[in-house]
Amino acid sequence: MNSKAKIKQSMPYGILIIVVICVLVMASIGNTKVNTLTYNELLNQFSEGKVTEIVTTEHKASGIYYITGKLEDYDKNEYFKVNAPLSDTVQQTILAYHNLNEFKWDVETNPENNVILSVLLQLLPIVLVCAVSFLLFIKLNSSNKSSMDFGRSKAKLSEDGGKVRFKDVAGLEEEKEEVAELIDFLRNPKKFQKLGARIPKGVLLVGPPGTGKTLLAKAVAGEANVPFYFISGSDFVELFVGVGASRVRDMFKQAKHNAPCLIFIDEIDAVGRQRGTGLGGGHDEREQTLNQLLTEMDGFGANEGIIIIAATNRPDVLDPALLRPGRFDRQVTVSLPDQKERHSILKVHAKNKIFAPSVNLENISKRTPGFSGADLENLLNEAALLAVRKNKSAIGMNEIDEATDRVLMGPAKTSRKITEKEKRLVSIHEAGHAVIGLKLEDANDVHKITIIPRGMAGGYTMMLPKEEKMAVTTRNELIAQITGLLGGRVAEELFLNEITTGASDDFKKATKIARAMVTEFGMSDLGPVQLEERSEGVFLGRDYNKSKNFSDAVALEIDQEVRKIIDECYNKTTKLLKENKKLVMLISDALMERETITKEEIEELVETGKISDKEEDETSRKLKEEAKDLGIKGYTKMDDEELQEAIDKAHEEEKDDEENSTKE
């Protein structure tokens, strides 16, 4: 900020200070008491010697001798004034009394200037107050222009659609194909009009948080290279009824002037929730805004050339009128990425990072099922922060592993003091989970066990699916999940003869799975009947008004079936852990010694009954992990050089297979 701008900015404050000073001066003047005396009364005061000081002023134009002064019994702000005739006799009389009593006497010359000064002092505060009021009004008016444009749209315009392109969006190939029609239509609308095709007016991007819905919308705008308006759903909603509807009208009005164009509304569920479910009837601000949006999209007026893209992770709460043909008549589901897509996403976010040779992004993608694109970006960022914290020149696998744990469970609480008894409790508990995963056929693979506290957990066992598949899950797999969740509590009972509160979250998950098997999936003796439907109240909270299609008698049967499934899994868990007591104790002892054991160490413990003390360097360990993931036989007997050659050969074979499949 330059000096002129600083002076301009501080000017109102300087004027305000001057006004305050003037007001204080005027206030002090207003408190002064003035007594009017006659000339004879003044002579009496002179004769009695009570006059302490006087000021005389000659007003020749009016022939008056103006005298002011103080008497000895006056207060500080009290004085007298006298108008005497302008003559030599008066001056000689005052001079005689002055020689007699020796009071203070000042003579004012130039009385005309005093009059002007007096008038200025009286007018100056009024002028300054008016000036300050004017400046404040100008300042408030310039800083609050939005108050004059309260109903104007808050949508921001990007002429070129932004810098994001499809190449910047990893994965989402099918989703790109769905929205590619919009780009083609905006570039060449005649191709569609020739066959009488109508392009969708609205496209709704639906998916879990962090899957790239907003990024995909930015890429569509970037590829289309047309005027692009973007706004959040919450920007429409205001305190005053009618403001949101006015902003919707203004947004479409601007878009019509720039057609063809795109409008992107992020988090549309903020304004598009179902009507008639609130407590304010149909007159609240949000519903008025939604009504206007519905009318603008497909109402009485035509919006040719305007395409709306919206994003939400709560499609279940949207108003049905918003999803009908003519409005958001196409829904594109942006789901969590699979292993191949995770690999592509990791490549995008790894461009500006330095990794150690042991880091393999493909292996990381295999270890992160269920991670969204935002989770993967956060994973690499956390790993980079950890590497900087350790003053490393590159990001290694140790940082990647630690970052994965931080994303899943939170930072490790290494400073927390844990007693040996608590440590043994946690190790037995986690060993119970791990043994079920190792010995049960349909259970997930055990990848890591730790007893280092993270978040709210005293320890955890990382179990990942043997292979990625769609959302279909078999009954045996659900039973295996419940059995694995009960492993911790059963291990405590069998090997410690006591139970702890550590299994509460396991029970919560197990009970939820068992109840869903009975009431939703038809996997019990009650038969293939859906007794409960997951419906979440739009305003009343999750599961508050859950739909229940059964009587009280059936409710008892549901509870009995849930108990039956839990008891069945509990008995199976007890049997497995009794048969593998030695393995439970081996894993528990290893956790007591090392606190964290990896998948390779667990496999070695199962095969040999111990973990070798031979410490491999980081490169050797990661080479063996990569060789195992690639399915290289006999990798455990190879040295580092042989491993690297076998890995390179395997990658070349994979590359050749991909090229051959592409040619076909």
Secondary structure of 208-269 in the HEC alphabet? CCCCCHHHHHHHHHHHHCCCEEEEEHHHCCCCCCCHHHHHHHHHHHHHHHCCCEEEEEECHH
- Determine which one of 430, 492, 561, 601 is catalytic: 430
Rounded CA gap, 457 and 503, in Å? 10
Specify the amino acid at residue 134.
F
Tokens coding 2: 């330059």
How does DSSP assign 608-654, residue by residue? HSS---PPPPHHHHHHHHHHHHTT-TTGGG--HHHHHHHHHHHHHHH
Whose tokens are 């006298």? That residue is 82
The reply to whether 420 belongs to the active site is no
Rounded CA gap, 188 and 224, in Å? 11
Among residues 623, 128, 181, which one has the least CA distance to residue 397?
623
CA dihedral 601, 607, 609, 611 (to 10 degrees): -30
Three-state DSSP state, 436: helix
Rounded CA gap, 47 and 610, in Å? 123
DSSP E strand boundaries for 432-553: 445-450, 460-464, 532-533, 547-548
How does DSSP assign 41-104, residue by residue? HHHHHHHHT-EEEEEEEEETTTTEEEEEEEETT--TTEEEEEEEE-SHHHHHHHHHHHHHH--E
Strands across the sheet with 202-206, in order?
A: 156-158, 228-232, 261-266, 306-312, 202-206, 330-333
Indicate left, alpha or beta for 584 from its phi (over 0: left) and psi (-120 to 50: alpha).
Answer: alpha
Q: Is 260 exposed, middle or buried (0-12, 13-18, 19+ CB in 10 A)?
A: middle
H/E element, 406: helix 397-409
CA dihedral 441, 447, 451, 452 (to 10 degrees): -160
Rounded CA gap, 664 and 659, in Å? 9
Cis peptide before 260 (omega within 30 of 0): yes
| Residues with a known catalytic role | 430
